[in-house]
Structure 1
Amino acid sequence: MPLPMFRCRHPFRAALVAVCGLLLLLCSASAAASVTIEIRGVEGDLADNIRNHVGEPPSSDPLVVRRFAGRVNQRATEALQALGHYEPEIRVERRREDDRHTIIIHVEPGPAIRITRVDVQFRGEAADDSAFQSLRDRIPLREGDRLHHGRYESSKRAIRNLALTRGYFDGAFETTRINVSLRNQEAEIVLHYNSGDRYSFGDVDYTDETLSADLRRRLVPFEPDDPYHSDGIAALNRNLLNSDYFRDVRVRTHQDRAGDERRVPVEADVRMNRPNRVGVGVGYATDVGPRVRLNWRKPWVNADGHSLSSEAEVSEVRQSLSSTYTIPLTPPLDHRLQFQGGWQREDIEDTETEKLTAAIQRQRVLTRGWTQTLFLRWEREKFTQAGDRGESTLTLPGMSLTRTRSRGGMDPTWGDRQFASVEATHEELGSSIQLSRFRLGTKWLRTYGRHRVVARADGGAVISESFDRTPPSLRFFTGGDQSVRGFRYQSLAPRNEDGDLIGGRYLLVGSVEYGYRIFERWTLATFYDVGNAFSDLDEDFREGAGVGVRWSSPVGPIRLDLAWGVSEPDTPFRIHFSMGPEI
């Protein structure tokens, strides 16, 4: 069959396309050729600095390479001088084999200039500032060291940055000098900095004054006329963002308006958050089955920053409704007073309860991330436990300490959680019974490359002479997704003569889990859980073990486990499904 013939209607355009194609081919051929830079005679930081200063030719064209090689000697000399070798001997050799070019730099660095004297002085108010004295001790310039121009420049930057951080906005170097003696191979470094006067914080002005002046003042982590420090500005920005009162925050300083008093005005450019926020969540866990959660939050109720939140949850075994009214104290983000109320109904295994609660609590953030909560809780609970009906009214004062740390967002790669609480009551407080209750728990997550380890331990005790009248919510049950896998939710506890669960006085649970990440978002896991709820501490533990898979989904971590109650041979394996972060 004859080949079809095509006629070009635009010969000039065709010629242009051909020329462009030819240029592309030439560029490709030029790119295919290579230029190798070899450095001989030195290694380590000297060789690295020469390579960085010399660079590479922009192309392998012979003329370009020749011109590049002509500048190598000067650039290599500058690189060595920057590291204290002022009299190097350098020879540049250029070789070519077909399209491969090699530039060989032969280096004899010569003797190094050594620092014999370092004179760093601060004048002005910085002379009495301990931060500058500490910086002088850390400056990487020491007598006897090889002269290093990079460290000299970084020392100057460190002084300037510290001055700006601490509010010495008029500071300047009076002297910056390196005196080099080639005859003696010695250098003296002189850095004299005059900081001038230190500026102080001025007033903080908000662009939105919906909140009261008193609350706005308490959100500021510094006082007017305190010495200026940039950390104070960063802390103010964090406070405003974390307060939940504002959706947009931008903090600015105006050094140009400081005036003769050197007081720096601060402007907090803010936009108030939405007055009402509503959220709906749908989830599933084998412990409670499908669940729906509805929450409503009002970030501020009044100009004093009081807030209100409510939450409702519905699942097959649990229904609850709760509300919290929060009053910020001082400091408002770390100290708060809360009033709480709620209703909850549960029907789990051999337990049916309906509970009303009311509480007042004071929360304070302590050092190192710990949160202390002092509370007084009133609760009335109607219950049926193993067929026995009961009703209790308790007034429980108590205290808890908690700390949660995590890194890695919704699916943390590092974190831990600690929890401890104690609560007690007596008939003289209007309670039906006398009891004391203690809880202690910890959980740790660590990741090492593809390997991940999760460990947790929980314990508790109830001390009461009227345990049969103690409401189920204060007894101990275990088993399920978050405790001993391989057993039903809250199915591990002492039983009565009929085999019905009655709950335990004591709780001891431990777990260790190892995971290996096989893909970016997928991890295989194996685990071992042990524990029980006891009437006496000499009773037997229950053990569960199994394997699982973890998926870091866009909506959060999802866990699927196959677990066996290995301490109970007749117990079939169970599937455990849960969602949410490990910590």
Structure 2
Amino acid sequence: MRLLAVPLLIAFLLVSFPAQGAAQESQLPEISKVSIRGGGEIDHDEMKSVISEIVPSGTFLRRTYPEFDRFKVERNMEYLRQFLAGNGYYRSLVTWRPVYEKNKRRVAVEINIKLGKHVVVSEVRINVKGSLAPEQVALIREAVYGVPLKEGERFSVQRFKKAKGVVKNTLLEMGYASAVVNSKGEVRRKERRVEVIFSIEPGPPYVFGNIEIRTEDETLRNLVIENLTYRTGEPSSLSKLFESKRRLVALGYFESVSITSEIDARAAVISTVVTPVRRKTMTLQLGIGAGRVDKLRGRVKLINRHFLHLNRTLEISARASFASQGAAVSIQQTGFLGAKSNLSLLFDIRRDDFPSYEADFFIFSPEVRKDFSHGLFSVHFNPAAIRSEIKSQAGDTNLARGLQDIFLVTLMGGIDITATDNPVDPFNGFTMSADIEISPAFLGSDEEYVKTVFEAAGYFNPAGGIVFAKKFQLGFLSPFGQTSRDEVPPFTRLFAGGNKSMRGFPFQELGPLDSRGDPVGGNSLITGAFEVRFPIWRKIGGVAFLDYGNVFPKSFDYPFGDLRYAVGTGLRYKVAGIPIAVDFGYALNHDSRLKRYQFFLDVGHAF
């Protein structure tokens, strides 16, 4: 029996081991990485999203590696070929090869792309069956060209589909709510050209009909009517509906606002229903942050949005940091001078401990602001009464008079122009502002001066996520009457340096310094910057910049030979669309009393 058991055991082992080896060989290796070579101007991340089935996903803490299946890889290569054809490359050559790791449990997929020549748009034809004026057809063509989809440009299916939507929206903006748009692209591969044809049946022009506001509050109803940008009987417009909703939401009184439309095709009338949902009356906000100057900062704010009146908001806040501590009460009322106008009253008590001075303040400042052209242009006037007690200030000279306790009444006003596509993270457009501040003795001011600051910034997006940005700032301060240059209060002087000004120098420390190295400020200022913003990976972006400028002691004095320059780079990480900024600046011609390099952490771009 024992002799029989031995051959049986050997036979069992011979049968078992090959089966185990076959089971191991049946397990497919994992794809560790997908790399793409070639592809020209086509974004690699966009191409990887097309073949996401074979691309590892997740974070470095929890990464998912797909199995390496040749049939699956080849299927995804076909997806990629179709994607490239949709971008105008009908003769692209897509090849791939696996690169195994030593243990053959992981494999990298290398994709090589030869795009070949793309097809171009040879003609954009707009055929109209109906009554559209020549200038309206010209507007439609201009909108299509802006996609861009125009003669001589590379053709892509994405742009073609987008152009059709643009044509439809342009007609809606003109009031043709029932317009029918058909599009066709005739591709001639041998000739590498595409003829794009849009056939339009505009139908009748529509007007706004009945406006229903669903609220029982009469005051709320009047507020909504006042902020609507359209009226019954006016030509219908898509942008007027969007602008009305934007204005109502911007008031801050509503949790949400919906505007729905009902189309009566027979009468060519669009009736609308506006449904506002009032926000909570009381809100408590808490905030905490950090910065180079104030180090750690915190804030608490109580907001009453219907303080004694629907249009009136009360804000009570307290804030504290290593650079400033204080409390403020603000009352704001919309519609003070008609639509798009605001009146605010500010009571502020605070202590500032800056490199240039340490002082206590009590400030009362009313402000009237009026917006024009849908918020593109605004003017403001905000006089102020300021009582300050200066504890200490930088400087090497003794003041002519005791200025430890200063009272000022200032008249301030200015204009603001904002023409950007995004107020927080602009890609295109420009901003401009000009402010003037006068402190005359006949209003009770202890010191007399006039101060003006002009600032402009521009943004240009040439392609992808790349943005070229530039900024320029010019300011002057001039004492008059019995006030000398040294008697101008330190908190009114011009300063530069820091993450929002000149990133090669610390906060306020670009310009005149006293014997201890503390900034004293000046009476003339010039700063500027050139910056390139570019995407790196997903929500992470980078910047490279050149900053320049200086602060000078004399009024209207700008010796350009004394300008300081700094270069640097930084990172941006977007949270809810708002960039968190980390910048490193290096001063090319620095002050020997200061460090040549600076680090900054902040919320938002430098400008």
> TM-score scaled to structure 2, two decimals?
0.61
1:546/1:225 CA distance change after superposition, 3 Å: closer
Matched residue type, 1:363: R
- What's 1:293 paired with? 299
Q: What's the secondary structure of 2:245's corresponding residue?
A: helix
**Contact 2:517/2:593 (<8 A) preserved:** no
Q: CA shift at 1:552, angstroms? A: 1.3
- What's 1:441 paired with? 455
Cα deviation digits, residues 289-334 of structure 1 (max 9, x gap): 2222333333333554222234433211122333332221278662
Q: Distance in 1 between matches of 2:316 and 2:347?
A: 10
Match of 1:556 among 568, 579, 600: 579
**Contact 1:392/1:432 (<8 A) preserved:** yes
Match of 2:528 among 486, 510, 515: 510
In structure 1, stretches of 5+ residues that fail to align are 7-26, 36-43, 52-114, 123-130, 141-155, 173-190
Match of 2:599 among 554, 559, 576: 576
Matched residue type, 1:550: L
Q: Distance in 2 between matches of 1:241 and 1:532?
A: 41
Q: Percent identity?
A: 16
**Contact 2:571/2:581 (<8 A) preserved:** yes
Q: Distance in 2 between matches of 1:171 and 1:487?
A: 59
**Contact 2:508/2:519 (<8 A) preserved:** no
Q: What's the secondary structure of 1:235's corresponding residue?
A: helix
**Contact 2:206/2:269 (<8 A) preserved:** no
**Contact 1:305/1:328 (<8 A) preserved:** yes
Match of 1:529 among 548, 553, 559: 548
Match of 1:201 among 189, 195, 209: 209
Matched residue type, 1:530: G
Map residues 162-177 of structure 1 onto 2, 5 A cutoff. none
Q: Does 1:393 align with 2:428?
A: no
Cα deviation digits, residues 109-165 of structure 1 (max 9, x gap): xxxxxx9xx99665xxxxxxxx6564467799xxxxxxxxxxxxxxx9999988876
Map residues 454-533 of structure 1 onto 2, 5 A cutoff. 454-465=469-480, 466=483, 467-495=485-513, 501-514=519-532, 517-520=535-538, 521-523=540-542, 525-533=544-552
**Contact 1:398/1:423 (<8 A) preserved:** yes
Q: Distance in 1 between matches of 2:167 and 2:427?
A: 37
Map residues 357-436 of structure 1 onto 2, 5 A cutoff. 357-367=363-373, 369-383=376-390, 384-386=392-394, 389-407=403-421, 411-414=425-428, 416-436=430-450
Q: Distance in 2 between matches of 1:573 and 1:139?
A: 54
**Contact 1:280/1:294 (<8 A) preserved:** yes
Q: CA shift at 1:404, angstroms? A: 3.6
1:159/1:401 CA distance change after superposition, 3 Å: closer
In structure 2, stretches of 5+ residues that fail to align are 1-9, 17-69, 79-84, 92-124, 142-163, 181-198
Q: Distance in 1 between matches of 2:471 and 2:171?
A: 47
**Contact 1:380/1:391 (<8 A) preserved:** yes
Q: Distance in 2 between matches of 1:511 and 1:430?
A: 39
- What's 2:261 paired with? 253
1:157/1:377 CA distance change after superposition, 3 Å: closer
Q: What's the secondary structure of 2:383's corresponding residue?
A: strand
Matched residue type, 2:479: S
Q: What's the secondary structure of 1:214's corresponding residue?
A: helix
Q: CA RMSD in A?
A: 4.5
Q: CA shift at 1:198, angstroms? A: 5.5
Q: CA shift at 1:437, angstroms? A: 1.1
Q: What's the secondary structure of 2:404's corresponding residue?
A: strand
1:162/1:399 CA distance change after superposition, 3 Å: closer
1:482/1:409 CA distance change after superposition, 3 Å: closer
**Contact 2:383/2:411 (<8 A) preserved:** yes
Q: Distance in 2 between matches of 1:320 and 1:442?
A: 31
Q: Distance in 2 between matches of 1:546 and 1:580?
A: 20
1:559/1:360 CA distance change after superposition, 3 Å: same
1:278/1:405 CA distance change after superposition, 3 Å: farther
- What's 2:244 paired with? 236
Q: Distance in 2 between matches of 1:210 and 1:4?
A: 91
Map residues 43-442 of structure 1 onto 2, 5 A cutoff. 122=131, 132=133, 134-135=135-136, 199-207=207-215, 209=217, 211-255=219-263, 265-329=271-335, 334-367=340-373, 369-383=376-390, 384-386=392-394, 389-407=403-421, 411-414=425-428, 416-442=430-456
Q: CA shift at 1:475, angstroms? A: 0.9
Matched residue type, 1:377: A
Matched residue type, 1:252: T
Cα deviation digits, residues 151-190 of structure 1 (max 9, x gap): xxxxx99999888766678999xxxxxxxxxxxxxxxxxx
**Contact 1:560/1:577 (<8 A) preserved:** yes
Q: Distance in 1 between matches of 2:202 and 2:590?
A: 75
Q: What's the secondary structure of 1:232's corresponding residue?
A: helix
Q: CA shift at 1:275, angstroms? A: 1.6
Q: Distance in 2 between matches of 1:501 and 1:469?
A: 16
Match of 1:566 among 566, 585, 589: 589
Q: Distance in 1 between matches of 2:543 and 2:168?
A: 51
Q: Distance in 1 between matches of 2:128 and 2:355?
A: 78
**Contact 2:564/2:588 (<8 A) preserved:** yes
Matched residue type, 1:557: I
- What's 2:22 paired with? none
Q: CA shift at 1:542, angstroms? A: 5.3
Cα deviation digits, residues 486-516 of structure 1 (max 9, x gap): 3332124435677764331222223334455
Q: Distance in 1 between matches of 2:255 and 2:313?
A: 15
Q: What's the secondary structure of 2:491's corresponding residue?
A: helix
**Contact 2:529/2:545 (<8 A) preserved:** no
**Contact 1:412/1:581 (<8 A) preserved:** no
Q: CA shift at 1:565, angstroms? A: 5.9
Count of aligned positions: 445
Q: CA shift at 1:4, angstroms? A: 8.6
- What's 1:110 paired with? none
Q: Distance in 1 between matches of 2:236 and 2:356?
A: 63
Matched residue type, 2:568: V
**Contact 2:128/2:201 (<8 A) preserved:** no
Q: CA shift at 1:263, angstroms? A: 6.9
Q: Distance in 1 between matches of 2:414 and 2:312?
A: 23
1:163/1:302 CA distance change after superposition, 3 Å: farther
Q: What's the secondary structure of 1:379's corresponding residue?
A: strand
